[in-house]
């Protein structure tokens, strides 16, 4: 697979309207090339070409910056980080943020740790656990300003996994495709029970022409202590009221 170069990254930033300094430009190239190298050992992303990673995965990861004004020095967790998308690109653009990269897969967690070290990223923690576990741990429960989740689970499941991690007034950001509306309708009960309300839905199109939706859920009250339930249960039996 071809390596990514500065020109491709510069075009990405230009398309997104992001003003990136030299540090961010170089780190983004290094990150994507780490991802490409890691793909030889593990399936870290669905894209198999360098251009696809840039135009779809990284572009999608950073698109929320068109809508969101993340508070300075906020605490953010990437739920099901996989190869680091969207967490690592967000961290590169916003080095002030404290970011936790969560993934239950050992190989992916190892890749994340190695990549964070290789890029010299500070205030980044990699956690190799399930979201159901950390949602009941004092270190993580109701400690985050933002939860980001991309291509992980249906929204009814995400509500139970993400909302317990948020402080009150924190926000969950769910990346979805055209089927997001149907998912949201099925997730409304779970979102409400776990203390959230829909703040906004943003529609956009990737450079590849694919339609995307960004669901922003605001937490307005504490999540009942029984949520999230034990590992595997949210996926098998989503909250339905």
What is the reported pLDDT for 208? Answer: 84
Prior bond of 5 cis (ω within 30°): no
Coil/strand/helix, residue 228: coil
Q: What's the rounded mean pLDDT across residues 191-216?
A: 95
What is the reported pLDDT for 51? Answer: 82
Q: Is residue 53 part of a domain?
A: no
Q: Is residue 150 part of a domain?
A: yes
What is the reported pLDDT for 93? Answer: 96
What is the reported pLDDT for 239? Answer: 95
Q: Is residue 9 part of a domain?
A: no
What is the reported pLDDT for 221? Answer: 97
For residue 85, is pLDDT > 90?
A: yes
State the number of CA atoms in the 13 A half-sphere of 38 facing the CB: 25
CA dihedral sign, ordered 216, 159, 77, 236: negative
What is the reported pLDDT for 3? Answer: 82
Domain that holds residue 82: 70-236
CATH code for the domain in which residue 94 is found:
3.40.50.150
Phi, psi of 170 (to 5 degrees): -75, 170
Q: Is residue 31 part of a domain?
A: no
What is the reported pLDDT for 46? Answer: 67
Spatial separation of the C-alpha atoms in residues 99 and 59, rounded to whole Å: 19
Spatial separation of the C-alpha atoms in residues 99 and 184, rounded to whole Å: 26
**pLDDT per position as a tens digit, 94-151:** 999 999 999 999 999 999 999 999 999 999 999 999 999 999 999 999 999 999 999 8
What is the reported pLDDT for 120? Answer: 98
Q: Is residue 170 part of a domain?
A: yes
Coil/strand/helix, residue 62: helix
Number of domains in the chain: 1
Q: Is residue 166 part of a domain?
A: yes
What is the reported pLDDT for 1? Answer: 64
- Span of 1-10, 15-24, 107-116 with lowest mean pLDDT: 1-10
Q: Is residue 16 part of a domain?
A: no
Q: Is residue 64 part of a domain?
A: no
């Amino acid at each position: 697979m071809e390596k990514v170069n500065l020109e491709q990254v510069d075009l990405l930033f230009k398309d997104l309207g992001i003003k990136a300094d030299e540090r961010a430009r170089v780190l983004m190239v290094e990150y994507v090339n780490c991802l490409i190298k890691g793909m030889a050992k593990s399936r870290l992303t669905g894209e198999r070409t360098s251009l696809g990673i840039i135009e779809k995965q990284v572009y999608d990861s950073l698109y929320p910056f068109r809508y969101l004004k993340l508070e300075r020095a906020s605490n953010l967790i990437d739920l099901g980080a996989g190869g680091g998308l969207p967490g690592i690109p967000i961290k590169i653009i916003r080095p002030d943020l404290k970011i936790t990269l969560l993934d239950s897969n050992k190989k992916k967690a190892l890749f994340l740790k190695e990549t964070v070290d290789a890029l010299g990223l500070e205030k980044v923690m990699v956690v190799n656990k399930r979201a159901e576990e950390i949602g009941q741990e004092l270190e993580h429960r109701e400690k985050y300003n933002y939860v980001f989740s991309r291509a992980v689970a249906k929204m009814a499941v995400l509500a139970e996994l993400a909302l317990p991690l948020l402080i009150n007034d924190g926000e969950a950001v769910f990346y979805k495709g055209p089927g997001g509306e149907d998912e949201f309708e099925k997730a409304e009960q779970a979102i409400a029970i776990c203390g959230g309300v829909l703040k906004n839905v943003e529609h956009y199109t990737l450079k590849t022409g694919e339609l995307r939706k960004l669901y922003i859920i605001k937490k307005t009250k504490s999540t009942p202590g029984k949520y999230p339930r034990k590992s595997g249960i949210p996926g098998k039996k989503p909250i339905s009221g």
